[in-house]
Structure 1
Amino acid sequence: MKKLAALLSVVFLFVFSSTSIAAVELKFAHGGSLEHQYQIGAEQFKKLVEERSNGEIKVNIFPQGQLGGSERELLEGVRMGTIEIISVAAGGALPSFVPEFQVMGIPYLFQTRKQVYTVLDGKVGKELSNLMLTKGFQNLAFWEVGFRNFTNNIKPIVKPEDIKGLKIRVQESKSWMEFIKMLGGIPTPISFGELYSALQQKMVDGQENPIATIYSMKYYEVQKYLTLDGHTYEAAVVVANPKWFKSLSLEHQDIIRQAAQDAAQYQRDKLFEMDQQRLDFIRKAGVEVVENPDKEAFAEATSGLYKVLDNVPVELIKKIKEAVAEVN
């Protein structure tokens, strides 16, 4: 009788421990800080996935470039399957794999968040996601990085001529290189994880990023001037390895996909709420803010950028402009 009781006890412990372990465990990696837009989205994604799966799916977040020093390395990692899910900038290293995403680097294409969301959450967004799939990337959702603005250490930037001769850090993409060249600056590719030290050591004079990034990555500590020109909108792409994703049950696929999309809405709303207070913080930290640069002059100086981009269909640009016009 004692032996039977002992055997039943062992069986109970085995069954209990087996059911308490997550059926799926995944790595979610990004290169942002613990306050970055990626992390805000990742934490909400983790919360939703684990709640909705009743613990069957466990999400382990790896921020600050822990699984890859650059976004290119993260993209290579997810495509090879060493990382399940990542969040990267749509206009950064991604166009090296999916050239059509260079379209996100066309300056002054968007003026408002509503225009952006209409495009990315609609037919154009689906078209871009399908293009990603052909290159080995499963897009789950478009999160937000934000409208990008210039910072520098030399002088206030009010008009295009003010950028002439300045070394500006850019993302690893032809569109960004050409953008800075058209303004007379010197484009300098530097990985996201190395940007703070590059600014601190004065390897470059400036950079361009959204308010949320300037705040979360503490660039205000090593920059004197901020220009609110909002030249492009940067989306964050939540990318999964397709083979891994398809290996999941349909129920788990639905949970992960829906959680990524719901986290997008949460993250966008959160960032909108935080933008003004973060801008105030940056200003109080001693950064001089140019509120009203000559956006028309910047737009005119860079109006021909789309002509030098490779493999960006004119039809795609047309679709975006039509969708934007409908919002207006």
Structure 2
Amino acid sequence: MIKIVVTGVGGFIGYHVSKYLVNNNVSVLGIDNYDSYYDVNLKKSRVGQLANNELFQFIKCDLTDFNSLEHAFDKFTPEYVIHLAAQAGVRYSIENPNAYIDSNLVGFMNVLEACRKYSVKHLIYASSSSVYGGNKVAPFSTGHHTDHPVSFYAATKKANELFAHSYSQLYGIPTTGLRFFTVYGPWGRPDLAYYKFTKKIFDGETIDVYNHGQMERDFTYIDDIVEGIVRLIDKPPVANPDWDETKDSISSSFAPYKVYNIGSSNPVKLEDFINILEKKIGIEAKKKFMDMQPGDVLRTYADVSDLEKDINFKPQTSLEEGLGKFVDWYREYYNV
């Protein structure tokens, strides 16, 4: 039986990935520290949904504590690791950058060290579309340079990719980084716009619409994210000793290293997104139009051509379908 460690199992993506794996006869060790950045009860509810499956184990562990992490790896002996734990949030990184150093840098380095020590076959880890920062050329391609982040969060995700490459080169650990584009869906993150908008619309409160609704986001439904991750598990990157930076993609390497985008490749204006959400809820939102916030980018737009080429997959869920499923879940979970 395949054994996989999933970090951040109490998180949005970690929960959905783990649910898929245990439902498909994979043994999962879920790790989370139940950070209080957002509602801990929601995180515990997610893990509670998994707890009844005999293929699921859980350990509460802070990834900055290497001894505890090492003990978990030693006991479970995973073949694969899907690292989804991180301090999330662009704007929060401006207010509290030290939290990102601890979780996203120290924690990630400890995961890399555990993978090295226990000869993990493949490490898949969460990067972010935010690494594209100030890039103007769209769609964003993994062939583009990502040297101009506009938030500390983005800088830590770029650093993760660099750390992963170093470990791939030095120790031969196959690593795959996934640049997620605005993931949404049931059991989502309350700090994200679609979730906050939904709550405020139901509560009759005013929503803040930044950049006067003219920002564009490449919204990606959670099931599409999960399918992309799962398809990549048994496809670790292979070292290419003939790799040439003058003609080969910078998303691959002479080391067993690869980076992919996962997005819908269909950016939607914020004002159009709100219109769809209003229809699904059946209530018109009260809106306050505002300027851009520090750390925000005007548009995200994923080029997923290399993902299509390597695993024959491209996200397919429409925003109308995905938001409908989220609103249905929200009504049930919060009894509204």
The verdict on a shared fold, with TM-score over 0.5 as the criterion, is: no
Give the TM bin, normalised by the shorter chain: 0.3 to 0.5
Q: Which has the higher helix share?
A: 1
Name which one, 1 or 2, has greater alpha-carbon Rg: 1
Greater relative contact order (Cα 8 A, min sep 6): structure 1 or 2? 1
